[in-house]
Copies of this chain bind each other. A is one copy, B any other.
């Protein structure tokens, strides 16, 4: 049985975060000492490591909650449910990558157009582009798509 700081050391999460996760239903200690100290079993540790791994991949705490409820009763859930969560996350990631690549392209175009030197900004082509609004961009398009869900 591990105390909270031991679990923290083992998982790389902080004790604060572990309590926060407990408050949000992700991980709780199977046992408490008479004084109320949390004591984590081996099974709790495995659950915490699952959470850590899923979080590292980029799953939201909400996604992780869903994965955890599948995990505790695998016979009531299908592979499809697992891939649905995973695919949904992948869709989000792909969408964000597109947005960022659009920004990246725009920023590169802006940087290419400006000398970047000690000259006064009076004729800076970046400032001109921003003033004229003629900067290619698709961020809003993506944002709107995002909200249609």
- From the candidates B50, B67, B75, B120, name the one contacting A78 in the complex (CB within 8 A): B120
Chain B residues within an 8 Å CB radius of A67: 127, 130
Q: Is A31 an interface residue (CB 8 A)?
A: no
Q: What string of 1s and 0s marks CB contacts (under 8 Å) between A60-82 and chain B?
A: 00000001001100110111111
- 16 chain-A/chain-B pairs, Cβ below 8 angstroms: A49-B131, A57-B130, A58-B99, A58-B107, A71-B130, A75-B120, A78-B117, A81-B121, A82-B121, A83-B111, A83-B126, A89-B103, A90-B107, A90-B111, A94-B104, A97-B104
* Nearest 7 A/B pairs, CB to CB: A83-B116, A58-B103, A74-B121, A90-B107, A77-B121, A74-B122, A53-B133
